[in-house]
Structure 1
């Protein structure tokens, strides 16, 4: 079954917050992040790499290269203080949004 437009838009809107949340648990490389997001929320791998570059350009993440025994070095990402602040702000905004939607849907009073 094809995803609805609302599912696609919700995923796109929450993607940066999800990546920041994963990195708040510890550093990771893009393929690992993409695999986790694919299994948990169905996001495709192709959307992660441009997002990671933008987040690096925006100062939300730092990177380091780690040699790999099975190929080229892996680029590991970790949150910067600005990334942690962005995650806190986005979580607050997400909660306010979901609370408002739940109220409109009659799920909360």
Structure 2
């Protein structure tokens, strides 16, 4: 994959991936970062916090604190009603969009290829 193309694709969907993870239940930042890093959607935890800040400012997520059994208090993130609606809208758009892109970039069968001269 062309590195710039992959970065652009990730930028377009990573916020919705965070919303999708949070739809499963509240998570703290480190948990989110581990999941997103494992999937190759973010490079490090440092790239997650500005994204979470934008999601909070947009009203799609909110935070709360919960004591940790193994250290300091953790800040958890959860979806707001607005975040639930945004995720639902994205889900409605994503499947047809992904299907269209997959169809357009799929390799054509050898018999369907056309040469520069217009011959099959």
Larger Rg: 2
TM-score if structure 2 supplies the norm length? 0.79
Structure 1: segments with no counterpart, 5+ residues: none
Q: CA RMSD, aligned part only?
A: 1.9
Aligned residues: 106
Q: Which has the higher helix share?
A: 1
Q: Which runs of 5+ in 2 are unaligned?
A: 108-120
In the alignment, what sits opposite 2:76?
76
TM-score computed with the length of structure 1 as normaliser: 0.86
- Taking the aligned partners of 1:3 and 1:65, their CA distance within structure 2 comes to 40
1:57-84 deviation per Cα after TM superposition (whole angstroms, max 9, x unaligned): 1111111111224333110011111111
Q: Name the counterpart of 2:104.
A: 104
Sort the Cα spacing of 1:3 and 1:65 in 2 relative to 1 into closer, same or farther, 3 A: farther
Q: Stretches of 4+ moved more than 4 A in 1?
A: none
